[in-house]
Amino acid sequence: MGKKGKEAARERREQRRREVTLLRAVPYEPRQRWWDGLAPPPAVAVVTGANRGIGYEAARQLAVHGVHVVLTSRDAARGRDAAEQIRAAGEPGVSVEWRQLDVTDAASVGDFAGWVERTHGGIHVLVNNAGVNFNRGADNSVEFAEQVIETNYFGTKRVIEAMMPLMKTSSHGGRIVNVSSRLGRVNGRRNRIGDASLRERLLNDDNLSEELINEMVVKFLEQTKQENWSSSEWPQMYTDYSVSKLAVNAYTRLLARRLSDRPEGQKIYINCFCPGWVKTAMTGWEGNISAEEGADTGVWLALLPQDQATVGKFFAERREISF
């Protein structure tokens, strides 16, 4: 892409950013606020990795809209401080509590699910935000690939499997929102896996399976351990992070298909979104949008009115994008 093309693309992004800013300022109409009409109230949302950044903003925005939020984090002190910060802002009707959750620890996830069931009887919204990325700028180390895959993919999967049986049934459906990234696109123009056959199988719903996704990430991890992985075979930028988000995207599509035949009143709408390049600790504060802006599409997906609810899609800036 030439200089003029880049400038035009940048202007389109900025224009969409301005449009979404205006959309965010439009309040939900009473008929759209499905979470206000639940019996018994309130709507309960769980947000993972929510002590800072995009997770914190997702929790804050959901709470401001009137959803009771269970804000989770590994670090107890930071999680409690984050929940208190949301409460201290003084927004009317805000209801938030903190609970410890380590998505990489099966026992922690199990304990959390048991607590949710005993305390709330279930949830209506799950936002899977917990994730890690150890690369910055031009770095592309795979030294921590195992931790990245375990947190971003297997951790997300572990939480979904534990919480899905606890999704409360209603005519509005349960909502699962996975925080992902454009870096995890199968056919990204500048950042994609090199194996054309694998790309084809991942994009073909008839071939997509949990086994295929797991085999892909295990193969990648084995190659990183043996130090024979190739950037021509795997995404070229932030490779371990990109592979983890590729797996999350594929798993989102797979789960959407599995959930598609649920009867009315038991629907679960699962989608993923890319928040953009956000100024957070994960990006070393090098992003070009705020965490508040980055969280917006995820909150929008979580609160979509039932007649607009979608499933198995990938979004950015409140628009569907390709996998």
Question: Could you report the per-residue pLDDT of 183-240, keeping only the tens digit for each?
Answer: 999 988 878 899 999 999 999 999 999 999 999 999 999 999 999 999 889 999 999 9
Residue 65: pLDDT band with limits 50, 70, 90? very high
Packed helices 239-259 and 210-226: angle between N→C axes, nearest 10 degrees: 170
* Residue 24 predicted with pLDDT over 70: yes
Does the reported pTM lie above 0.75?
yes
Domain 12-182+266-321 matching CATH 3.40.50.300: the answer reads no
Interacting residues of 263 by C-beta distance below 8 A, sequence separation 6+: none
User: Which residue, chain included where needed, has tokens 């989770």?
Assistant: 72
Residue 1: pLDDT band with limits 50, 70, 90? low
Higher pLDDT, 83 or 92: 83
Q: Which residues pair with 178 in a beta bridge?
A: 128, 272
Higher pLDDT, 134 or 279: 134
DSSP-based three-state secondary structure for 320: strand
- Residue 213 neighbours by CB distance under 10 Å: 21
* Amino acid at position 300, single letter: W
- Rounded to an integer, the average pLDDT of 123-129 is 98
CA atoms within 13 A on the CB side of 228: 4
First-to-last C-alpha distance (Å) of the chain? 21
* Amino acid at position 137, single letter: G
- How high does pLDDT run on average in the chain? 94
* Residue 148 predicted with pLDDT over 90: yes
43-78 burial, b if ≥16 CB within 10 A, otherwise e? bbbbbbbbbbbbbbbbbbbbbbbbbbbbbbbbeeee
- Rounded to an integer, the average pLDDT of 164-177 is 95
Q: Within the chain, what is the greatest distance between any pair of CA atoms? A: 58
- Residue 241 neighbours by CB distance under 10 Å: 26
Residue 231's pLDDT is what? Answer: 85
Interacting residues of 34 by C-beta distance below 8 A, sequence separation 6+: 172, 303, 305, 306
**Cβ(13)–Cβ(50) below 8 Å:** no
CA–CA gap between residue 209 and residue 187 (Å, rounded): 18
Closest CA to 178 of 25, 311, 36: 311
* Residue 179 predicted with pLDDT over 90: yes
Residue 181's pLDDT is what? Answer: 97
* Residue 76 predicted with pLDDT over 70: yes
Just list the catalytic residues: 241
